[in-house]
Structure 1
Amino acid sequence: MAKEESSNKGKPKKSTTSRTGRFLKLAGMTASVASRYASDRVVNAFVSEETKAGRLAKSYEKMADDVTQTLGELKGAVMKVGQIASQTQDFLPKEFSNALQKLQKEAPPMPYETIAEQIESELGGSPEVVFKHFSREPYAAASIGQVHRAVTLDGEEVIVKVQYPGVDESCDSDLRQLRTALKLGGLLKIPKQQVDQLFAEIRTRIQEELDYENEAENIRAFQAFHRDDAGVLIPSVIEALSSRRVLTLEWLEGDHINNLDPERYDQEVVNMIGHRIFTTMADQLFRFQCIHGDPHAGNFAFRPDGTLIMYDFGCVKKLKPGVVDAYKAALQAGIQGDYRQLDQRLIDLGVRVEGKPAIGEDYYAMWRDIFIRPFANASQVYDFGEANLHQLVAKNATSVFKYLDSFQPPVETIFIDRMIAGHYWMMKKLGVQAAFRPELDAYLA
């Protein structure tokens, strides 16, 4: 399994795990955010628009830092929402999305004693009894659980994912408190109905992710789908050592994206891996219609023979056939430059608000010209290592405000967008050089 070096040194931080403790921590964050927002509104009433914009940006940055620190300490559902929000500009100011990027990094680990108690509660014995060997040091730490290496009583090397105590029980109250904080901080710029749909979708995905038995089912389903895909590996579940809050998987070792030796991963191997990343993503989206919804680099590993290893199937989004069809049709319309058709397909996807005036073709053309760059030419190789799509998106982000009332958060496609963004960053980090247009055309045909 891939292991990225953790920057967390010294004694592990303790997270607040009791429901009361979590509520108080979130309530304090909410009060701080609301107070800052109220104060800014009073001051901004007496300053110029230019000064107001500058003050607002600084205020957002301060609020974002406070929120990020709190979510990182609490882990659980609120940290997961922060990770999702960091990958979208749809419903939070960009200062928040930028600050929340910190939550994509490895979280501070929980004390071993807490992990041991959870294993004993779930598996009926302490780690030292249930396993032949169990590492006291975590292999990785994330938002809702952490991973330890171990050896079974039969001598098989495994990894054990242990859920943090209390995060499942506090999920709903955490989300309510976080939503209140965003609302009182004046940060939610979309209608209440869209906020309801957005948080309902996120809640559903998080509830599924908190159920490790559900994740085991997801793993078996994805293994079956990819069983004939050479070079794609998914670790198998060790049933006897798994439960709703503990998941034990076979050990499949690979190299983390940050630790690829150029001598073992030359450009040819990197391109082979990039091809597998693209086809795996497209197969899941268009054929399986069920996608791996947590595509950050820590959930993938690689081998010098071009093998792609996929981990963590807690967050999986099963797509409605109509959504996939509409998404495919929107891509076709965009590629062909048929912006009237694109506008209708975005309405079908729930991205464009029906009943609002049609969007100017120049607006759609601008975004189309940005996103089509990796696929603009059927034969020309695109260098993802030099890709600047993210910079172009940021540069043109302000144009969104002109049509703010005409668009809404893409509830049905938010995890598709998240998957594509995650794969883009992996391609860029790897430095993939490839021409994917012919394959894209085949998927869309």
Structure 2
Amino acid sequence: MAKKPVTTRKGRFFKLAGMTASVAGQYAGQRARRFLGREEDEAARSENYTRMAGQIADTLGELKGAVMKVGQIASQTQDFLPKEFSDALQKLQKEAPPMPFDVIVEQVERELGKPLGEAFEYLQEKPYAAASIGQVHRARLHSGEDVIVKVQYPGVDESCDSDLRQLRTALKLGGLLKMPKESVDQLFGEIRERLHEELDYENEARNIKLFRDFHKDDENVLIPGVIDSHSGRRVLTLELVEGDHISQVTPEHYDQDTVNAIGTRIFATMADQLFRFHCIHGDPHAGNFAFRPDGTLIMYDFGCVKKLKPEIVEAYRKALIAALDEDYEALDRHLIDLGARVESQPAVDEAYYAMWRDILIKPFSTDAPYNFAESEIHKHVAAKTTTVFKYLDYFKPPVESIFIDRLIAGHYWMMKRLGVHAAFGPELQRYLNHSG
């Protein structure tokens, strides 16, 4: 029998408080053992972390909402939690047990102000998809049009701030945050701001209209339109626009030329949003995209959108140009403008910048097609992460551009999973040559 969902703020608080107490107790036990001279070996420490991580991931998955979304972001960024936690939180990207249907029906009727049968000819009971802050159901309007209905889980928006405070406390008391307090404040502040936007489906409806307008001249990029008459703050009804999930993009239905064309389209869409529109789709994981054998790219879920200041985009553009040109003095300056480098610290050793440039430049270094399927950039990055500690005081999480990094990482993994072969160097150069 499925557990009754926790939808009240009080219930969520106690659930998170219990998790926090347990994690803090386990961490205190580890500290006590070290104090008594019983130093854990690496395997034992990893096992403890894995146990704590599993407990946190299970609780976040059950509660959904803000805390689950933070877990998903943490699993993608992998730079402020131990590896065992990033690994455990990865499952939050894939697993989101559905909310009972009667809870969904109540939410729809409350938000639309009418009985379900009056609003829809039918609403399919089995979810089309379940995510962190809501789930999606297929439905049909009385006009006969097939649609999808995105329904926010009850209680998620009211408890967002208290959820985030509890999660932060759990991570802190568990000895898991590897960043200075100021950086943690900035990071959680940015996440909180994006979450409040994402919890407002009326805001998402505006974002969808904005991005449909951005891409209106590209017939190969589809974004489902909003059905305003059946949408509100916690319910969003959209046109049904279907395509294949990334796992269905197989050689039987997609030849290499089509995959390469899709990859080129993904890159151009990302670069347009960053360099031309100054507004990016901030949640670029595989579940938010679909594909068709004619090369069409379909984009979903515009709850998490980051509008970028022109000066941030310009600093980012100049930093990329400097890196490509191996002008590390200029790169250092532009990273300060970007808010990624602590200005009061002396210049960073050029060899350090050169090391990262040589790893990250590979897809853009020649005019020959780069094989993303065989790319090991992520492995090379992981192998060099220990070098970060040497310059820990020189850099800080660039809050303004953290979603740019997330955008690029998400698209890299899609290119890799799709198996794209493409030369993006000349394409990138065209974007960098035109400012604003």
What's the TM-score once normalised by structure 2's chain length?
0.96
1:249–1:387 distance in 2 versus 1, CA, 3 Å: same
Q: 2:382 aligns with which of 378, 383, 394?
A: 394
Q: Is the 8 A contact 2:61 2:95 kept in 1?
A: no
Which deviations, in whole Å up to 9, do the C-alpha atoms of 1:364-405 show, x marking residues without a partner? Answer: 11111111111111x211000111111111111111112122
How far did 1:408 drift? Answer: 1.6
Q: 2:322 aligns with which of 309, 333, 341?
A: 333
Which deviations, in whole Å up to 9, do the C-alpha atoms of 1:303-355 show, x marking residues without a partner? Answer: 11100000000000000111101111111111111122212221221212221
Q: Which residue of 2 aligns with 1:4?
A: none
How far did 1:358 drift? Answer: 2.1
Q: Which residue of 1 aligns with 2:184?
A: 195
Counting only pairs closer than 5 Å after superposition, residues 39-438 of structure 1 correspond to structure 2 as 39-47=29-37, 51=40, 53-377=42-366, 379-438=367-426
Q: What is the aligned length?
A: 433
Which deviations, in whole Å up to 9, do the C-alpha atoms of 1:23-72 show, x marking residues without a partner? Answer: 111001111111111111121235587x4554433332222111111111
Q: Is the 8 A contact 1:90 1:408 kept in 2?
A: no
Greater relative CO (CA pairs within 8 A, separation 6+)? 1
Q: Distance in 1 between matches of 2:294 and 2:311?
A: 38
Q: Which residue of 1 aligns with 2:26?
A: 36
Q: Percent identity?
A: 68
How far did 1:92 drift? Answer: 1.7
Q: Distance in 2 between matches of 1:366 and 1:397?
A: 12
Q: Which runs of 5+ in 2 are unaligned?
A: none
Q: Is the 8 A contact 1:15 1:75 kept in 2?
A: no
Q: Which letter maps to 2:400?
A: E
Q: Which runs of 5+ in 1 are unaligned?
A: 1-10
Q: Which letter maps to 2:328?
A: Y
Q: Is the 8 A contact 2:70 2:191 kept in 1?
A: yes
1:165 alignment partner, SS class: coil
Q: Distance in 2 between matches of 1:12 and 1:213?
A: 31
1:224–1:136 distance in 2 versus 1, CA, 3 Å: same
How far did 1:261 drift? Answer: 3.9
Q: Which residue of 2 aligns with 1:17?
A: 7
What's the TM-score once normalised by structure 1's chain length?
0.94
Q: Distance in 2 between matches of 1:369 and 1:233?
A: 35
How far did 1:439 drift? Answer: 0.5
Q: Is the 8 A contact 1:90 1:409 kept in 2?
A: no
Q: Distance in 2 between matches of 1:217 and 1:163?
A: 17
1:44 alignment partner, SS class: helix
Q: Is the 8 A contact 1:60 1:95 kept in 2?
A: yes
Q: Which residue of 2 aligns with 1:5?
A: none
1:332–1:48 distance in 2 versus 1, CA, 3 Å: farther
Q: Is the 8 A contact 1:256 1:302 kept in 2?
A: yes
Q: Distance in 1 between matches of 2:389 and 2:188?
A: 22
Q: Distance in 2 between matches of 1:127 and 1:366?
A: 59
Q: Distance in 1 between matches of 2:45 and 2:313?
A: 39
Q: Is the 8 A contact 1:293 1:415 kept in 2?
A: yes
Q: Is the 8 A contact 1:30 1:180 kept in 2?
A: yes
Q: Is the 8 A contact 1:13 1:108 kept in 2?
A: no
1:150 alignment partner, SS class: strand
2:393 alignment partner, SS class: helix
Query: Does 1:440 find its partner at 2:428?
Result: yes
Name the stretch that deviates more: 420-429 or 38-47.
38-47
Q: Distance in 2 between matches of 1:175 and 1:25?
A: 13
2:52 alignment partner, SS class: helix
2:77 alignment partner, SS class: coil
Q: Distance in 2 between matches of 1:214 and 1:196?
A: 25
Which deviations, in whole Å up to 9, do the C-alpha atoms of 1:81-118 show, x marking residues without a partner? Answer: 11111111332222222221111114100000000000
1:194–1:128 distance in 2 versus 1, CA, 3 Å: same
1:202 alignment partner, SS class: helix
Q: Which letter maps to 2:24?
A: A
Q: Distance in 1 between matches of 2:251 and 2:265?
A: 19
